[in-house]
Amino acid sequence: MLTYVARRVLVAVPTIFGVATVIFLLVRLLPGDPARTIAGVLASQADVERIRHQFGFDQPLYVQYVTYIVHLLTGDLGISTRTGAPVREEILTRLPYTLELAAISTVISVLLGVTLGMIAATRRGSPLDLMISALAVFGLSMPVYWLGLMLIILFSIQLHAFPAAGAQDPLGFVLPSITLAMFSLALVARQARSAMLEVLGQDYVRTARAKGAPMRRVLAKHALRNALLPVMTVIGLQFGALIGGAVLTETVFSWPGVGRLLVDSIFSRDYAVVQGVVLMLAVGFIIVNLLVDLLYAYVDPRIRYS
Amino acid sequence: MSIPALDTADGLLDLTSPEIGAQTAGGRFWSKLRRSPSALAGLGILGVYIVLALLGPLVAPFDPGHDILREQFLPISSLHFLGTDDLGRDEFLMIVYGARYTLLLGFFAVAIGLFAGLPLGAISGYFGGWVDLLVQRVTDVLLSFPGILLALALVAGLGVGLRNVIISVGISSIPIFTRLVRASALSIRELPYVEAARALGVPHWLILLRHVIPNSLAPVIVQATLQLGAAILVAAGLGFLGLGVQKPTPEWGSMLGEARTYIFTDANLVTLPGLAIFGAVLAFNLVGDGLRDALDPRLK
């Protein structure tokens, strides 16, 4: 197990470096003068030069890269041009809001998704199965931002049940969490259904049924446990959709998380913050998937030795 | 009643000939696809969108850019099927014109993903070694940007507009195809016919072109169809954020984003463009699922 952990972690490190490098190159190699972009069209040439020097754009590329990596390793993400505060602080004050939203949505989508997937698989071909499968395709096809706006129209404007914006009171969590959870819910339900179907066709399930074990017991003791393995992988992967969805959901609900910080920073050309947020989200995604892989190997010994 | 074809010796002979086998494989694919109601529904929706995109602008009574401020926020009427928007433009025509941009965005973005991802994946899987290692590490890195984030970061750097959105969404769909084709190429390169071709001295590029790529196409076709839906979702998402296609182009995502301001006064302006995006993505997902069931007998 330990060698497996070491191997997986060692693979993740160059990926994280790669991500940092791509983000570095994205800002510097794209057409246009980043110093001019940050300063704005109306800035004087002197201002542009000052910004160029302040950001180190006047240095050779490899010097900039080394400085950037060294700063990253010490946890220094730079200074926000918009607020003058360190990027790390900007991110850390908003991160809890995004994490809360992501956590609630993950819980909703996993619990509901696995339940629906199981119901559909055990009643394969029934109207209920058809309905759940249709719901899953709808969930996968629905634009998050549109779903959010529809929920606002229905529950905030017409029914006055939940607030349309802000994270001040607990009720404010309801609509954004549902919005964000929908895609993942559909993904998990689908995966749970097909995993369950596969497991139900296995010999050990048939044996358990043959020896007279009641279906409920077979499902709980044999089928669910084995079906949950592939579902775990999807939970890791859906985290990516969740982060991407958070950017959109936070914009719809004026949520004070990192997603909105990212969009606001793109508009105000606050490149240090854009770099920092994208890097943090990508690294978070890598780490979550690494943890899922390790958990998978821990639960299923077949993985470790392959 | 007897079945004539089976009664004759010719009929029996026909059944064993390889041509018949090939035909039935193709026939099985079509009959499977035709028997799937959801795939048919998807094709139906797609047909409506394509007709709207091609013919809509030809039969439109006026240009969607035709804005009369006096006519803003008109309700649904016989002249304006879906009412008018904040600038007095006809909402129905805006949506009809939008079909062009959305389908265009989807097709070109996926085309970029395919044309870069397919050869990269085939080369990576076929040659293996350091080429494979390099391509796979780069793919790993690109796949580490969750969801819409890579496209978002690219647009932030390249700038907004139709062309840059296509490039950004296209680049972000390259790694998916690379992964998929590599997996197929890995198994295909071990097959006897590839070995035979190599023994005959067929150059690598010809083997790739003749054997490896054509034989890895089935999962690629399925993924490309699903990816069309995903690309449309991401492109419209960028439009919604104000980082996609810019006005006055009637792109559904940006229409939705602009209409947010009027959500309290005219909910139609928010509902309709989103419904149009939803329908397009749903259609591609349904067709993609149908194709997967028809092309891959192992599933379901």
Q: Do B149 and A146 touch (CB under 8 A)?
A: no
Q: Which residues 186-205 of chain A have a CB within 8 Å of chain B?
A: 194
The structure tokens 């607030």 sit at A163
Q: Which pair of structure tokens corresponds to residue A181?
A: 């959870």
Q: Which pair of structure tokens corresponds to residue A153?
A: 């129209």
CB A84 within 8 A of CB A269: no
> What DSSP element (H or E) covers B43?
helix B37-59
- The pTM of this model reads 0.84
Cα separation of A142 and A182, whole Å? 8
pLDDT, tens digit, 9 for 90 and up, residues A220-237: 777 777 788 778 878 887
The answer to whether residue B188 scores a pLDDT higher than 70 is: yes
Cα separation of A101 and A108, whole Å? 11
pLDDT, tens digit, 9 for 90 and up, residues A9-50: 888 888 899 999 988 888 776 666 667 766 777 778 888 888
Cα separation of A31 and B76, whole Å? 46
Beta bridge partners of B90: B84
Q: How much is the ipTM here?
A: 0.85
Contacts of residue B160, Cβ cutoff 8 Å, sequence gap at least 6: B238, B242, B243, B244, B245, B246
User: Can you spell out the DSSP letters for B124-148?
Assistant: HHHH-HHHHHHHHHHHHHHHTS-TT
To the nearest whole Å, the CA of A137 is away from the closest chain B CA by: 7
Contacts of A145 in chain B (CB under 8 A): 237, 240, 256-257, 274
Question: Chain B residue with minimal CA distance to A242?
Answer: B147
CB B14 within 8 A of CB B252: no
pLDDT, tens digit, 9 for 90 and up, residues B65-111: 555 555 666 666 666 666 666 666 677 777 888 888 889 899 999 99
Q: Which pair of structure tokens corresponds to residue B133?
A: 């290692």
Q: Do B153 and A23 touch (CB under 8 A)?
A: yes
**Nearest CB neighbour to B146, from listed A31, A141, A285:** A285
The answer to whether residue B5 scores a pLDDT higher than 50 is: no
Contacts of B140 in chain A (CB under 8 A): 15, 18
pLDDT, tens digit, 9 for 90 and up, residues A44-86: 888 888 877 877 777 788 888 888 888 888 888 888 877 888 8
Nearest to A260 by CA among A279, A240, A272, A245: A245
CB B115 within 8 A of CB B132: no
Residues in chain B: 300
Burial class (CB in 10 A: 0-12, 13-18, 19+), A99: middle
The answer to whether residue B298 scores a pLDDT higher than 60 is: no
Q: ∠ CA(A253), CA(A153), CA(B93), 5° rounding?
A: 105
CB B233 within 8 A of CB B173: no
How many CB atoms are closer than 10 A to CB B222?
Answer: 22
CB A113 within 8 A of CB A182: no
Reduce the DSSP state of residue A252 to 3 states and report it: helix
Q: Which pair of structure tokens corresponds to residue B299?
A: 């599933």
The answer to whether residue A189 scores a pLDDT higher than 50 is: yes
Looking at residue B90, the DSSP 8-state letter turns out to be B
